[in-house]
Amino acid sequence: MWVKFKEKTYESYFQTELGRLTNISFAPDQTDEGLLGFDGAFFIPFIGMTGLFPYVRVARWRRFIGISASEIDSFGDELNDRLPPFNLNLFVQYKRPERMARSNAAEWPSWGAAYYRYTTDHRQQHLLEKIANAAHGRAAVVYASPAFWSNTDLFAHGRDGTIVAHSNIADVANLTGHHRFSYREAGHHGIGHSEPQPLESSPFDAIIRRGIEQDALPFTRQMKALDASIREALDGERGSYRLWQAARQAILGGGIADAYPRARGTWLDAIYSVIAFGQAFDVRITALGVDTVAEPVETT
């Protein structure tokens, strides 16, 4: 039986709590208002979106609008001055598991009791493994899934801020060679299948702590480093690369895409690469950091 709530609902609550585990987080995503969200509450306005592209002709106005590539860089410098630095890129693939409560379930012999399970996608798993390698320690790549199954539990944990504490976290690298993962409870333990193999990932708070102990980078450099990791992971993956490019084109739109090459290599270009990767492969990407006056919140 599938858990009662939708994957996106669980993701929304998890992301909200993630913003509290450190005091700095940035999760680029496309929104209807054309804004980029900062920690779900702080917003950087992208005026009509086209205003940040280099001189795009808008037919109905019969004139060019936008800013130059050098002005994009200047705007990036302003953001670096105003925004805190970042230490870690966190890739999370959220899973909606099945709750298996019958003794004829395929993985029952591994547990002998009710458990949860989800299936991994081969292409997605492969790309996430490459992301982890390409990031050279500056990214954590995990699966996150709930260890509860009812809407009542979801809303109660959302109210109490305990969604993360009642989730199971699995390191993507641990699932190499497995097509399914099962677990009984929250935490970082489970079993990879089809050949059952006990797996232990790092506790989620330990993942966050290791990440924020790294050298911090200014906002625009963090975005460019993230973009570089994505491009390295997609290198040689023809089908995945085409899908990612299609997602970029869909975000940019035809008229803007024609003029967009002038902005290649900028921090803005990097953000669109990140958004496109997340949409193409159903992965949520968050840049995390911590300032010098506050400690990250414990998750256990």
Average pLDDT across each block of 10 residues of the chain; the chain has 300 residues. List them in order. Answer: 95 90 72 35 37 45 51 82 88 97 97 97 94 90 97 97 97 96 98 95 92 89 93 95 91 58 76 90 89 46
Q: Is 124 exposed, middle or buried (0-12, 13-18, 19+ CB in 10 A)?
A: middle
What's residue 21's pLDDT?
Answer: 78
- C-alpha dihedral over 38, 157, 171, 11, to 10 degrees? -50
Q: In what order do the strands lie in the sheet with 180-183?
A: 98-100, 115-119, 180-183, 189-193, 197-200
Cα 227 from Cα 250, distance rounded (Å): 18
What's residue 61's pLDDT?
Answer: 42
Cα 291 from Cα 170, distance rounded (Å): 27
Strands 167-171, 139-146: pairing is antiparallel
What's residue 40's pLDDT?
Answer: 34
What's residue 42's pLDDT?
Answer: 34
Q: Is 187 helix (H, G, I), strand (E, B) or coil?
A: strand
* Residues 116/147, Cβ–Cβ less than 8 Å: yes
